[in-house]
Amino acid sequence: MGQKMYYYTSTDTMSKILTGGNLFATNLGYMNDAREYVHGLRTVKKTLQENGINVDDIFSEEYIEEYASREKELTYFSISFCENNDLLSQWTTYAKESGVSIEMDFTENEDVEFMVKDDENQEIRIKARPEKIQYVESRWGNPGEIDEVWKRFDSSKMSEKYLKEMGEKISAYIKQFDFVQENEYRIAFDNASMGCTPKIDYRSDKHVLKPYISVECVGGWPITSIMVGPGFNQDVVLQSVRFFLNHAKVKSNKLLTQGQWKEQIEVYFMSGGNEFIEIWNELNKDKSLNGFAERWKALGDDPRKEMDEYWKQLWVEKVRLAVKKGIEKRVNGHESSAEKYRKLVGEHFFTTSGIILKKSDIPYIY
């Protein structure tokens, strides 16, 4: 089962990610909630106490205050995603004007293999998975929030070692309730538990040097869709991203095989609104268009077989022709089918890479 989440960024960063680039995992001490990890530790302590476990020795006040005093020297680094693909606060904060949200389709409850490098350029392999941020009030006024944190513990493993290690890990996925509108998922990496120290680089943000590690998703990031956000030049940006996705050699581990393309073609039609859904239903009933539905179903005969460039090009043309014919049938002389096609497909486009390109519905707000 897929677990879709969205990474908001600029078109420049998007192009680097799609051509094999890495994502930057920023040190938790330099996130927008500067005291979040300390808040997480206090919440973990409160959660365990509420469930009858005495952890005064493990998470003592001195221990938590030590973290607070060196909050800018945490060993945790994280990559943040959002649960929503078209959220105004994310556009304005992270993607800026006419940026993009990149849809990534991770397999739910499965670890992903990542790779970072150390100062000697040696590879370090890590397994991790995206996890949802738990938003908790600073005074723990909502018992339900504590219950959700408790669910992250395995009650059959309550050794002191387990409580300390798991408590520290869970703390990286807790934020103040004030940030709940971000709907954040996070992949957190603990440098201290890697065995080797990854190379730490720095980027300047408002004159602050923020430490980060460069993270590669082994096999490519699971990118399936891209949305262009609001901005005065949104249409021009959309056209440029479409050209890029049609011609650049992009990399996604979700669009490699025939089975993955079979699923993506259906997703394209089913996520394009009523007219696209109607066309899809007709394609599965009608044997016209060179047997589109039968040929599409045949992609499942050998789902693990790699989808080569020739067949990618062929299927993109088949999809475009199917949409064009479907729109012509609906227009039926009442308006220009070419104009209707440009409008619909211009906002929901199936690119040669297999990545679906969309346009944000949020009005221009900059």
Domain regions of the chain by residue span: 2-217, 255-354
> 67-81: per-residue pLDDT in tens?
777 766 788 999 999
Mean pLDDT of 107-133: 93
State residue 261's pLDDT score: 97
Sign of CA dihedral 292, 297, 301, 302: positive
Cα(100)–Cα(74) distance, rounded to whole angstroms? 30
Q: Where are the alpha helices (DSSP H) in 26-98?
A: 36-50, 61-69, 88-90
State residue 333's pLDDT score: 61
> 203-232: per-residue pLDDT in tens?
998 899 999 999 999 989 999 999 999 999
State residue 196's pLDDT score: 81
* pLDDT greater than 70 at residue 159: yes
pLDDT classification of 123: cutoffs 50, 70, 90:
very high
Sign of CA dihedral 235, 241, 246, 247: positive
> 313-353: per-residue pLDDT in tens?
999 999 999 998 888 887 766 667 778 778 888 899 999 99
Cα(79)–Cα(247) distance, rounded to whole angstroms? 28
From residue 305, alpha-carbon distances to 163, 177, 256, 259 in Å are: 45, 46, 8, 8
Lowest pLDDT segment from 186-195, 256-265, 287-296 = 287-296
Contacts of 182 (CB under 8 A, 6+ apart): 82, 89, 90, 133
Does this model's pTM top 0.75? My answer is yes
From residue 242, alpha-carbon distances to 11, 186, 256, 311, 350 in Å are: 11, 28, 19, 19, 9
DSSP 175-236: EEGGGGGG-EEEEEEEGGGSSSPBP-EEEEETTEEEEEEEEEETT---EEEEEE---TTHHH
C-alpha distance across the termini of the chain, in Å: 37
What angle, 0 to 180 degrees and rounded to 10, lies between the N-to-C axes of helices 234-247 and 11-18? 10
Cα(64)–Cα(42) distance, rounded to whole angstroms? 7
Lowest pLDDT segment from 274-278, 284-288, 320-324 = 284-288
pLDDT classification of 31: cutoffs 50, 70, 90:
confident
Give the DSSP H/E element, type plus range, for residue 204: strand 201-205
From residue 231, alpha-carbon distances to 239, 295, 362 in Å are: 14, 40, 9
Q: What is the mean pLDDT of the chain?
A: 91
Give the DSSP H/E element, type plus range, for residue 163: helix 160-171
State residue 162's pLDDT score: 95
State residue 138's pLDDT score: 87
State residue 129's pLDDT score: 93
Which residues make beta-bridge pairs with 101? Answer: 8, 227
* pLDDT greater than 80 at residue 87: yes
**Selection from 112, 115, 129, 100 nearest residue 355 by Cα:** 100
Lowest pLDDT segment from 42-51, 165-174, 234-243, 339-348 = 339-348
- Longest CA–CA separation in the chain, Å: 78
Q: pLDDT above 70 covers what percent of the chain?
A: 98
* pLDDT greater than 90 at residue 96: no
Contacts of 243 (CB under 8 A, 6+ apart): none
pLDDT classification of 34: cutoffs 50, 70, 90:
low
* DSSP secondary structure letter of residue 93: I
State residue 265's pLDDT score: 97
* DSSP secondary structure letter of residue 143: H
From residue 63, alpha-carbon distances to 59, 206, 276 in Å are: 6, 31, 57
